[in-house]
Each structure stands twice: as structure tokens, then as C-alpha cells.
Amino acid sequence: MREPSFWYPARRGATPLAARLLSPAGFLYGLAGRLRRAGATPEHAAVPVICIGNITAGGTGKTPLALTIASRLMARGEKVHFLTRGYGGRETGPIRVDPAHHGAEDVGDEPLLLAAAAPTWVAANRPEGAAAAVRGGAGLIVMDDGFQNPSLAKDFSILVVDAATGLGNGRLIPAGPLRENVADALSRANALVLTGRGHAGDGIAARARARGTPVFNAIVRPAAAPDFGEGPHLAFAGIGRPEKFFTTLREMSVELADTVSFPDHHVFRESDALNLLVRARELGARLVTTEKDAARLTHAPAASARARLAAAATVLPVRALVGDIDGLMAQISDAVTRARWR
């Protein structure tokens, strides 16, 4: 689904009528989450658990950050396995993602990206997923999302916030983008990472620093520059913030003849693929998209328009570049050491 425009009003501090009307529902949403966490007894995994999550619905760059942190840990010899819910997939798990056999309709798009880097498990029940990962050889678990899920104990939790959009109108779902009360989230966060450029995240950063929680800055940048070829491009994306992808392309001096946005985790239909292929032909443009969108086109029937779209589109992989990555990794390492002594 697309985020409602009133979640992120154009004028800072404005409170659209829709947000005010939905605020009682937001209060109940927040109360339900707080009661759920208060009544839960988190289970400890047999290995350290690092959680990378967010406080808002929509894209903040947590998956690129998870990949960056995992790569650093693996370079130190850690046997990292990813654990995720697998949003958009039908599998409830625990199941190990096999990119050769699983598509986005099975496990979701983000697990397919994670599985290309390290063993990845999808599980609705996080403690069961963690146990399956340990049986599968995990020495350390990196959770992509799950910050609000109280069932599995975390040894280090990173809260990721988009610096450009921040907390939006500051209200809880469905009145705003917040998944929980800010104070509650900060009370469980061991670090805050602001991704991208902007000042909308300055408020939560100040609150985090006041609590003694370290704040890091990161930008999401291409992991490698593919061969875009000559001529204009038609860029398409179904992610939390499609415009961020388009901006990245422009910053790379890629000529964009047109851009097409879809909702986050959009499941491409044959009509979508045909429209994109036809539009690109009309413009005389090459197609370019994100890793997440490409993942949703995997395993499409060979003769389908989706398969032709997947074959025609250049894919731009991205990773998070953290300003003080050594400082962040030092904090994670300390937490891992403490977890192994418990």
C-alpha cells in the first residue's frame, strides 16, 4: 500500500484533519503494542542477536544497513545468519530461503536479497526461527526488522530513521507512520542510525543523545556501478521511498526519460510489466530498477512479460555507508561479547 500523504504533511508541524480523526485509533494501536510487549517474556537464543529495525512504517534503509553490518561481522569470522519475517511471502516458516527455488511470493523480496549475502531464515515465530538458524550453523543472528516483536530477546538493537522524513506527523498508525511511542522505542534502542540527508530526524536524534544513546549517520549508496549503457532510462521502483532511488540515479548522471513509482513491496502483474516494456519502447529508453523490485520478478514464467521485464532491466544494488562504521561495530562487538558470557 502507499503511505497516506497526511502522514508526511508538506508544512512541518501541520496536523491534517485525517490524522486528527484517526488519532483515537492510533492511541489504541499504540496501547495494544505496549500491552503486548509488557506481557511478553522474551526468549533468549543460543547465540547473540543483533536487531535492525525502525519506528516508522515504510522504507528507512534498514535492509542495506543489515547487509553492511553482516558483511563486517563475516569479515571478522562470524557465522552470520539473517532472520526476518518475510513480509509479502506466504511462508510462515521457520524455513531457510533458497533463492534457486523460492520467489518473492514465497518468502518476500527482502529475504531474497539477504540470502544472496548469508544464510537467511523466514519465521513468523522469531524464537523458532532463531533456533532453526542455530541448528543450521548460525553463530550470530542479524534480524532485519522485528524491533517491535517482543518474543525474541535482542542483545543489540539499532533503530533506523530516515533523516529526510523523520517521524512524519509524529502520530501512531493509522493516524501517522509511527509503529510505537517514541519514548518506548528509544528505551530499547542501543543505537540510532539516521539514513540519508535532511533535518527531519534531528528531533529524535536529540532525544536519543539526551538518553546517552549513540547516534550515527549513514547514506545508502550503490554497492557497485552497473553498466547503464548509452541513452535515456526509464526507472521504476516499488519501495518505501521510490524518489530516493530516482535521486540516486540522477546523482550518478543517469539520464532519466521517465520514472514510475509503485507501492512498497508491489507484486508486479503482467499488465504492469507490459506497460513498462511498452513505455520504454516508446521513449527509446533502457529500463533500470532496484534489487528489491528485481527480486519480485524472479521465477516469472519464461514466456511472461514479467520475465522479459526482468531480463531487460538493469539492477542497481545499494548498501549503507555509515560515517563512523568502526564506532558502531565496536559497540556491536562489545554487545556480542557480553552476550556470549551470559
pLDDT of residue 4: 84
pLDDT of residue 184: 95
Task: Please give the chain's pLDDT, 342 residues, in tens.
Answer: 577 888 888 777 667 888 899 999 999 999 999 999 988 899 999 999 999 999 998 778 899 999 999 999 999 999 999 999 988 888 888 999 999 899 888 998 899 999 999 999 999 999 999 999 999 999 999 999 889 999 999 999 999 999 988 999 999 999 999 999 999 999 999 999 999 888 999 999 999 999 999 999 999 888 877 888 788 999 999 988 888 899 989 988 899 999 999 988 888 999 999 999 999 999 999 999 999 999 999 888 888 999 999 999 999 988 899 999 999 999 999 999 999 987
3-state secondary structure the chain: CCCCHHHCCCCCCCCCHHHHHHHHHHHHHHHHHHHHHHCCCCECCCCCEEEEEECECCCCCHHHHHHHHHHHHHHCCCCEEEEECCCCCCCCCCEECCCCCCCHHHHCHHHHHHHCCCCEEECCCHHHHHHHHHHCCCCEEEEECCCCCCCECCCEEEEEEECCCCCCCCCECCCCCECCCHHHHHHHCCEEEEECCCCCCHHHHHHHHHCCCCEEEEEEEECCCCCCCCCCEEEEECCCCHHHHHHHHHHCCCCEEEEEECCCCCCCCHHHHHHHHHHHHHHCCEEEEEHHHHHCCCCCCCCCHHHHHHHHEEEECEEEEECCHHHHHHHHHHHHHHHHHC
In the numeric block, the cell 533502457 is attached to 286
What would the grid cell of residue 236 be?
521504476
Amino acid, single-letter form, for residue 274? L
Q: CA-based diameter of the chain, in Å?
A: 62
Give residues with Cβ within 8 angstroms of 132, minimum separation 6.
93, 94, 96, 121, 123
Amino acid, single-letter form, for residue 222? P
All domains in the chain, ordered by first residue:
49-220+321-341 (3.40.50), 225-316 (3.40.50)
d(Cα 173, Cα 27) in Å, to the nearest integer?
9
| pTM: predicted TM-score of the whole model, two decimal places | 0.89
pLDDT of residue 16: 80
Nearest to 59 by CA among 187, 139, 164: 164
pLDDT of residue 216: 96
pLDDT of residue 11: 74
pLDDT of residue 95: 95
